[in-house]
Structure 1
Amino acid sequence: MQINSATSAMLNQEMKTQAEDAKLRKACGDFESLFIYNLLKNGRQSLPQGGLLGNSNESKLMTSMLDQTLAEKCSEGNGLGIGEMLYRQLNAPQAAKGGNLEAVL
């Protein structure tokens, strides 16, 4: 009976660790997406305004949505690598301590 309880406790801890790991990976990927979005947004501000659609509110909204979609697509998979580097940096202390993520942050 104790073996089952011990095994169950270990599996429960492993599932909790995997859930925290998945949340950390998602947060790092979301950060990379936000970073790319800000790069695109600030890069566009340095370009001359106008063009085919002009400088209307609609064109600004469309451009913002385009930048957001591009940022999300660019950060998928390996992306620029910023999310993966951030994940490794934040996960190293957690793995070394064997503690939870909240203690690291």
Structure 2
Amino acid sequence: MKTNGIDFSTSYPVSNAYETKKQSQELENFESVLKKASEEKDDKALKKACQEFESYFINQLFKEMRRTIQPGGLIEKSQAEEIFQEMLDEEYAKNASQSNGIGLANVLYKQLKSHL
């Protein structure tokens, strides 16, 4: 997806095929909700799409922050624990974006609303 010269689909390197597919689905979902809101002049759908994008962005921040932590410790992480951590981070990101979040959803909403 390309918006105002920013191509979101190639912004960040992706570690595996599953993440690539998941990221492209999330971006396609955002793009389709955005188109639908634009066509129907629906402010609620636009606001929801902006919150979903902020949630996606916060989740990416969590992933990148976790990559900076050195593996180690007394007990090695299992694959199940890693999956649980990813799911927990997704929920944290959703909750953050539904409250005030980091403000990205509000900025996007104001910017995109002016183009409706």
The structure richer in helix per residue is 1
Q: Which has the larger radius of gyration?
A: 1
Structure having greater relative contact order (Cα 8 Å, sep ≥ 6):
1
For the aligned residue pairs, the C-alpha RMSD in angstroms reads 1.5
TM-score with structure 1 setting the length = 0.66
The change in CA–CA distance for 1:65 and 1:50 in structure 2 (over 3 A counts) is: farther
Unaligned 5+ segments in structure 2 are 1-39
What amino acid maps onto 1:68 in structure 2? E
Select the residue among 83, 87, 93 that pairs with 1:71.
93
The change in CA–CA distance for 1:52 and 1:87 in structure 2 (over 3 A counts) is: farther
Percent identical pairs in the alignment equals 38
CA contact (8 A) 1:53 1:59 kept: no
TM-score with structure 2 setting the length = 0.61
Unaligned 5+ segments in structure 1 are 1-15, 95-105
Name the counterpart of 2:72: 50
Count the aligned residue pairs. 77
Matched, 1:88 2:107: no
Q: Distance in 2 between matches of 1:75 and 1:69?
A: 10
